[in-house]
Structure 1
Amino acid sequence: MIQGNSTFIHVGQIHTDYGPVAISTVLGSCVAVCLHDTKLGIGGMNHYLLPFWNNNGLQSPRFGNISIPKLIEAMLEHGSDIKNMEAKIFGGASMNIYTSDTMMIGEKNILVAREILKEYKIRIVAEDVGGLNGRKIQMNCEHGKVLLKYASRIMNS
């Protein structure tokens, strides 16, 4: 883990930074997309709860289809170029073992991340998604490395 400058993000938040600093979060069925500009050492992370905004109420980065484009925009505002970006995806666990949904929310969150990154032509270089356990992640913005630790089953997103 990085000592010193670190920012923790919660559901619905997006953070971008550069240099030897870290961004971290804790995920259950939520998903975090981590972007890294390999040329400039800029990193960004989001944390979203649900895959799609349903056009009801305000657009919010709590939804993947809002959060991921906003994360990409934030990276571009820092001077990044899409062709230099790589993505890593984390989260999307099946936290409720008692539900009978054919596709659980975690799976939908993972799919929306993959689809939007594909639309933007941003390569996914790593992912640790699905399963039954939550995750704590910390991303080094300068190098794009992500440290991951699995959480216990009793965790919620």
Structure 2
Amino acid sequence: MDDIEQHYLYPSALFASARPHKVVTVLGSCVSVCLWDPFLRIGGINHYMLPLWNGEGLASPKYGNIAIEKLIERMLYLGSRKSNLQAKIFGGGEVIDVNISGRFRIGERNIAIAKELLEEHRIPIVAQSVGGKRGRKLMFLTSTGEVFQKIIDKNSHEIGG
């Protein structure tokens, strides 16, 4: 696994490749959707911070509805068929003080938009680790669809989005 190219995925970004990669990202209230095509053995992942783009400013993958659509488009561009895709969802933890995040429920809303859009596109969710009060560090292997997760405590310096 050490000879596979590595890619660190920052918040508000996505990554997909036909070449094998080990993609690492760190999630708090953010969500990552991993898409994998078991026939072509290719995968992609996003990391979004907020559920919905409101139509103002740039339609960036910072927003779940944009990030998921763009990731599906990228997988189709790489040759996948939508009917072959499988999804895994991670993140959406309420890691910020409840007085702040409890009102906005960002993690919960990020999870909901992923489930809604994947259902709309008829892409099955084959695994998920969402919600809770802690962050997650992910390592996604694009050529196998495997995702390795490490739960992160609030005091860790690894919390990303």
1:149 alignment counterpart: 150
Residue type matched to 1:126 in 2? A
Map 1:108-147; keep pairs closer than 5 Å.
Answer: 108-147=109-148
2:14 alignment counterpart: 14
Q: How many residues align?
A: 156
Q: Is the 8 A contact 1:33 1:45 kept in 2?
A: yes
2:44 alignment counterpart: 44
2:2 alignment counterpart: 3
Which 5+ residue runs of structure 1 have no aligned equivalent? none
TM-score, normalised by the number of residues in structure 1:
0.94
Q: Which moved further from structure 2: 16-25 or 63-72?
A: 16-25
**What per-residue deviation string (whole Å, max 9, x for no partner) do you get for residues 27-78 of structure 1?**
0000000000010001000000000001111111100000000000000000
CA distance in 1: counterparts of 2:136 and 2:118, whole angstroms: 21
CA distance in 2: counterparts of 1:98 and 1:118, whole angstroms: 29
CA distance in 2: counterparts of 1:11 and 1:21, whole angstroms: 18
Residue type matched to 1:113 in 2? A
Helix, strand or coil: the match of 1:26? strand
Q: Is the 8 A contact 1:19 1:41 kept in 2?
A: no
Helix, strand or coil: the match of 2:117? helix
4+ residue runs over 4 A deviation? none
User: Post-superposition shift, 1:18?
Assistant: 3.0
Q: Which moved further from structure 2: 53-62 or 67-76?
A: 53-62
Which 5+ residue runs of structure 2 have no aligned equivalent? none
CA distance in 1: counterparts of 2:68 and 2:85, whole angstroms: 13
Helix, strand or coil: the match of 2:108? helix
1:71 alignment counterpart: 71
CA distance in 1: counterparts of 2:127 and 2:99, whole angstroms: 28
Two-structure CA RMSD over aligned residues (Å): 1.4
User: Post-superposition shift, 1:21?
Assistant: 2.1
CA distance in 2: counterparts of 1:156 and 1:82, whole angstroms: 30
2:108 alignment counterpart: 107
Residue type matched to 2:143 in 1? E
Percent of aligned positions that are identical: 44
Q: Is the 8 A contact 1:24 1:139 kept in 2?
A: yes
